[in-house]
Amino acid sequence: MLTSATLAVGGGFDYIRGRLGLSMRVIWSCLRHFDYQKQALLYVPPDLPDPRTPQFGAQAAERIRRLLEITRGRAFVLFTSYAQMKDIYQRLMGVVEFPMLLQGDAPKNALLEEFRLTPNCVLFATSSFWQGVDVQGEQLSCVIIDRLPFAVPSDPVVAARIKAIDAEGGTRSFNIRLPAAVITLKQGFGRLIRSLNDRGLLALLDNRILKKQYGRVFVEVCRIIGGRRSWGRWRNGSG
């Protein structure tokens, strides 16, 4: 038996079944434990520039600052690259009034312990904090993700998989990068709701999910994980 919070892509299991080499006779089922419609609120800013442009850093930092003011810190700010993480962190030093922790300044377990013990703390981190991290309660009330977590095509493992798919006549974006990015996004957002009593804000600063054709796959994930859209009600503690 396989169980995971992030196996399905687009409502189905074709991607993980293909990766594991399992036959069609395997029985799959989606079960939902948390009430995301009541526990989580999703925010995707439509006005930020494309994360791949030079203008993104400054505007993203300002938007993160405003979100942290609303949530009174208590946040993970997760990035797809060390360079982006360090850039945003440096932009917000001395600007954000809450304690800030940076991945790399201490071992992972030490950072997590300090985050749990420090009121209103904000942790800036990359891939190793997207999964396998459990912080329950109000101490973690917000997860902010900078951009859609597409794997870099030049990565040796990704490049080898793309080459194999191309040789079989497949579509590499769908078969490799897109499903993997969907699963990674689920894992990142999954840091927020860890118990039936958790509630909070999920923010994705990459609005390509609203503008690109492939965005519909991510939008479906966001509808499941962060059902409510109006974050003014959440800010005031109602709804």
pLDDT of residue 6: 53
Q: What is the mean pLDDT of residues 218-223?
A: 68
Q: Does residue 228 belong to any structural domain of this protein?
A: yes
Q: Does residue 29 belong to any structural domain of this protein?
A: no
pLDDT of residue 230: 41
Dump pLDDT digits (tens) for 140-197: 999 999 999 887 666 676 667 667 767 766 655 555 677 778 878 887 777 887 666 7
Q: Does residue 160 belong to any structural domain of this protein?
A: yes
Q: Could you tell me what percent of the chain has a pLDDT over 90?
A: 41
Q: Does residue 24 belong to any structural domain of this protein?
A: no
Please provide the average confidence, as pLDDT, over all residues in the chain: 78
Q: Does residue 182 belong to any structural domain of this protein?
A: yes
pLDDT of residue 224: 52
Q: What is the mean pLDDT of residues 101-110?
A: 96
Q: Does residue 28 belong to any structural domain of this protein?
A: no
13's tokens: 């299991």
Give residue 31's pLDDT band: very low, low, confident or very high (50, 70, 90): very low
Q: Does residue 193 belong to any structural domain of this protein?
A: yes
pLDDT of residue 217: 78
In this model, does residue 30 exceed pLDDT 60?
no
Query: In the 3-class helix/strand/coil scheme, how is the chain assigned residue by residue?
Result: CCCCCCCCECCECHHHHHHHCCCCCCCCCCCCCCCHHHHEEEECCCCCCCCCCCCHHHHHHHHHHHHHHHHCCCEEEECCCHHHHHHHHHHHCCCCCCCEEECCCCCHHHHHHHHHHCCCCEEEECHHHCCCCCCCCCCCCEEEECCCCCCCCCCHHHHHHHHHHHHCCCCHHHHHHHHHHHHHHHHHHCCCCCCCCCCEEEEECCCHHHHCCCHHHHHHHHHHHCCECCHHHHHCCCC
pLDDT of residue 186: 80
Domain assignment of residue 77, given as a range: 34-235
Name which residue leads in pLDDT, 39 or 103. 103
Q: How big is the chain by its Cα radius of gyration, in Å? A: 18
For residue 204, what is the domain's CATH number?
Answer: 3.40.50.300
Q: Does residue 225 belong to any structural domain of this protein?
A: yes
Dump pLDDT digits (tens) for 40-86: 788 999 999 999 999 999 999 999 999 999 999 999 999 999 999 99
CA 103 to mean position of chain CA atoms: 16
Q: How many distinct structural domains can be found in the chain?
A: 1
Dump pLDDT digits (tens) for 182-203: 878 887 777 887 666 777 888 9
pLDDT of residue 32: 57
Q: What is the mean pLDDT of residues 85-99?
A: 97
